[in-house]
Amino acid sequence: MQIINTCYNKIKYLEGRENSNIMMVRQITKFIEDWIPPEASVAVAAKDQYLDYLSGIHDIRIRPGQSVPSGSITERVYRQKSRVESLVDESVFGTPYYGIGYPIEDQMGFSGALIVILPPTYFYKKQAALSFLTGKKGEIWRPIPLEKIAYIESNQKKTWFYTEDGQYSTIDTLKTLEYKLPNSFIRIHRSYIINISFIKHISRDLSSNLIVALNHPDNSELPVSQTYVNSVRRILGF
């Protein structure tokens, strides 16, 4: 992110300028795109609205001219007049994100903000790497290494994970685990996260829905919901 620190001051022209300078803002935003990961989006705001938005893979669908909402990284940069880095839940834009916001200043002082928008997983990757889940079976708790977990299920308001040794419950929700687990796990359904290394094969059922068969003692076959088909195909490359 060092390039952003050196670039964002150049956007000081954006407040109260003509369309030609707005075009310059967009060119700078495009330039920044070459220096951030492909999953990131970039937004530029002045006063109470966004001037430009460059969407990446993690797209929260900001529109130029859209008002800056309360609770957003942009609003917090305005309020604190300093760099802000934080996780933001889905209540603000409908999609959670991890934002890094930089204040923009001109000769008159504070004038706007530049925001780098990343997937929520970025936050969890900055934390200590998750290497195990603690599961409960009966009245016994056991830390289970991730590589031994075939899949994780949300069922009847509880979260369960499955190993060759049986089924365990965990206090984490599927949504939290989706962000905390490494890339060797993939969400395929609102109720399932699977360990890629346990996949035996992927096929279609009679209705042409994708079905994942797992190398697991119970010969589990789990459906891929339409919501996750595109991400499953992109991650697994088929």
pLDDT at site 7: 46
What pLDDT does 120 receive?
A: 85
Task: Decide: 58 and 39 in contact? Cβ < 8 Å.
Answer: yes
- Please tell us whether the domain made up of 2-120 is placed in CATH 3.30.450.20: yes
pLDDT of residue 106: 65
**H-state helical runs in 119-225:** 121-126, 174-180
Separation of alpha carbons 29 and 126, rounded Å: 25
Architecture of domain 128-236: Beta Barrel (2.40)
Closest of 77, 9, 3 to residue 33, by C-alpha: 3
pLDDT value, residue 60:
95
C-beta neighbour count of 101 within 10 angstroms: 25
pLDDT at 201 (0 to 100): 96
Residue at 184: amino acid letter: S
Q: Are 119 and 92 in contact (CB under 8 A)?
A: no
Domain chopping of the chain, boundaries: 2-120, 128-236
- Tokens for 23? 């075009």
Residues of the chain with pLDDT under 50: 1-21, 24
What is the rounded average pLDDT for all residues in the chain? 84
> What tokens appear for 174 in the block?
């599927």
Taking the whole predicted model, whether its pTM rises above 0.75 is answered as no
If you search the block for the tokens 């796990």, which residue do you land on?
185
Residue-level pLDDT at 191: 96
CA dihedral for 191, 196, 200, 201, sign (positive or negative):
positive
pLDDT of residue 9: 45
Q: Which of 123, 126, 161 is nearest to 145 (CA)?
A: 161
